[in-house]
Amino acid sequence: MPDQQGKTALVTGANTGIGFEAAKVLAARGATVVLACRDLAKAEAAASQISAAAPRARVETLRLDLASLASVHQAAEQFHANHRCLNLLINNAGVIHPAYARTEDGFELHFGTNHLGHFAFTGLMLDRLLAVPGSRIVTVSSSGHRRGDIHLDDLALQHGYGLNAAYGQSKLANLMFTYELQRQLAAIGARTIAVAAHPGNAYTEVGRHMPGWVRVALSPRLRLLNSWLLQSAQMGALPTLRAAVDPVATGGDYYGPAGPGEFTGHPTRVKSSARSHNADLQRRLWEESERLTGVNYRLAEQTAPHTD
Ligand SMILES: NC(=O)c1ccc[n+]([C@@H]2O[C@H](COP(=O)([O-])OP(=O)(O)OC[C@H]3O[C@@H](n4cnc5c(N)ncnc54)[C@H](OP(=O)(O)O)[C@@H]3O)[C@@H](O)[C@H]2O)c1
């Protein structure tokens, strides 16, 4: 892991799970890390834990609720007030929720939180990212993207809601967003890149809204039985960290565990579904995301100060 002194990283959903582990490593390697979380008390507790493990770590907290566009705007404004540049944005936060629910702005919860919230936040942070040559945007997807499709005519899935369809749509959107963003960054000659990762299956709080039997089956207490299927949150954070810091990573790369089924293992470059590479659908998803969030990237109008 290269030294991260002098760099600023922002991790969404950094109070627990993959985000917490990634933030902890980045802080221990010298980065200033902003924990962007919807619950400030949880964020402060996580910051204290990171500081206890690495007393010289520079850790800040920022309130960000991705299920609220108002909160997304407030968080971006607050970051702008305190920071002139951002080296690394890790779009990690995510929700899996079996029951149908909506965000504050009326979007289906998975699509609104996992995709639209991050789409809007990234767009609002772009000037700070473009200000740094070599900056990166890492978005955390899931193998579950393979079970999803983008239903542009029914993004709220009112005509066929299911957990796999909803979570899968949001995680497919995470990848399509990354690929389209990378294409647009390359088109303006930016030296900011967009990359993606997935953690495999990791012991985190991700199943907190799932039925009790699922939580038991995925419990670390069954580690000996589950070791082929599940890995620690620390291991699950490695694909994200590799996407974030590997010097040879290039725009559009996707990292995940190297083991069978990409369930567990050390991070390697992996392939996403054929559907995720549908450039026409990527572009239409992008346009719809701009319309729904009201955040227009206008990348062609951005000055790209770091073109060669
Ligand atoms: N663990 C796995 O096996 C697995 C597999 C595939 C993909 N992933 C992906 O990995 C990422 C991290 O998940 P995890 O496993 O670390 O789950 P986790 O332990 O449940 O952590 C999720 C994080 O997202 C935050 N979050 C949820 N809704 C939010 C919102 N509206 N605004 C801001 N933050 C919000 C949570 O905050 P609160 O604590 O306040 O709720 C928490 O910090 C997710 O994108 C998930 O889809 C995980």
- Whether 78 maps to a domain, the answer reads yes
What integer pLDDT is reported at residue 307 of this predicted model? 34
Q: Write the DSSP assignment of 188-254 as a string of letters.
A: TT-S-EEEEE---SB-SSTTTTS-HHHHHHT-GGGHHHHTTT-B-HHHHTHHHHHHHH-TT--TT-E
22: which 2 tokens? Answer: 């990634």
Can you tell me the mean pLDDT for 60-67? 98
Phi first, then psi: give them for residue 6, nearest 5 degrees. 85, -5
Cα(305) to ligand 1 centroid in Å equals: 34
Cα of 211 from ligand 1 centre, angstroms: 17
Residue 293 domain boundaries: 8-297
| Amino acid at residue number 101 | A
In a domain, 3, yes or no: no
- DSSP 8-state assignment for residue 260: G
Kindly state whether residue 182 falls inside one of the protein's structural domains: yes
pTM as predicted: 0.96
Residue 303 lies in a domain: no
Out of 24, 44, 63, 95, give the residue to mutate to test ligand 1, the one with the largest number of ligand atoms within 8 Å of its CB: 95
140 lines ligand 1 (CB under 6 A): yes
167 is catalytic: yes
Token readout for 292 is 């729904």
Domains held by the chain: number: 1
Query: Domain holding 257: CATH number?
Result: 3.40.50.720
Residue type, 106: G
Closest ligand 1 atom to the C-alpha of 143?
6
Q: How confident is the model at residue 306 (pLDDT cuts 50, 70, 90)?
A: very low
Torsion of CA 180, 186, 187, 191, to 10 degrees: 130
Is 141 within a domain? yes
In a domain, 53, yes or no: yes
Identify the weakest region by mean pLDDT among 101-110, 161-170, 220-229.
220-229
Domain assignment present for residue 201? The answer is: yes
**Distances from the Cα of 18 to the Cα of 32, 92, 152, 153, 241, angstroms:** 18, 8, 30, 32, 10
Task: Round to whole Å and give the CA distance between 148 and 198.
Answer: 15
HEC letters along 112-167: HHHHHHHHHHHHHHHHHHHCCCCCEEEEECCHHHHHCCCCCCCCCCCCCCCHHHHH
Record the tokens describing residue 168, joined without a space: 């899968």
Q: List the catalytic residue out of 161, 167, 203, 254.
A: 167
- Within a domain: 104: yes
User: For 155-194, how does the pLDDT look when each residue is reduced to its tens digit (9 = 90+)?
Assistant: 999 988 999 999 999 999 999 999 999 999 999 999 999 9
pLDDT score of 303: 61
> Is the CB of residue 256 below 6 angstroms from any atom belonging to ligand 1?
no
148 CB under 6 A from ligand 1?
Answer: no
CB of 142 sitting under 6 A from ligand 1: yes
